[in-house]
Amino acid sequence: GYTYESLLKDETRRPCLDYIDTLVDGPFVQSLFDPALSFRGSSNQRILHLSKYR
């Protein structure tokens, strides 16, 4: 349920980003549920490929 931006700001959670290649961020929202989405539950969530930025 965290966003990438909130993880960057959080001193205790930021170090975990060093171990993540792909992050699905954002909370699951039932009203935005879409079973056709790959790797996400709702359309508000993003797939971020963090390994590209290292």
| Per-residue model confidence as pLDDT tens digits over 10-39 | 999 999 999 999 999 999 999 999 999 999
What integer pLDDT is reported at residue 24 of this predicted model? 97
Please give the tally of structural domains in the chain. Answer: 1
Rg (alpha carbons) of the chain, rounded to whole number = 12
CB 26 within 8 Å of CB 48: no
Average pLDDT on 40-44 reads 97
Residue 54 confidence class, pLDDT cut points 50, 70, 90: low
DSSP 1-54: ---HHHHHH-TTTGGGGGG-SEEEES---GGGB-TTSSS-SBTT-EEEEGGGG-
Where residue 53 falls among pLDDT bands split at 50, 70, 90?
low
Question: Which band of pLDDT confidence, cut at 50, 70 and 90, is reported for residue 51?
Answer: confident
Q: Which domain holds residue 31?
A: 4-53
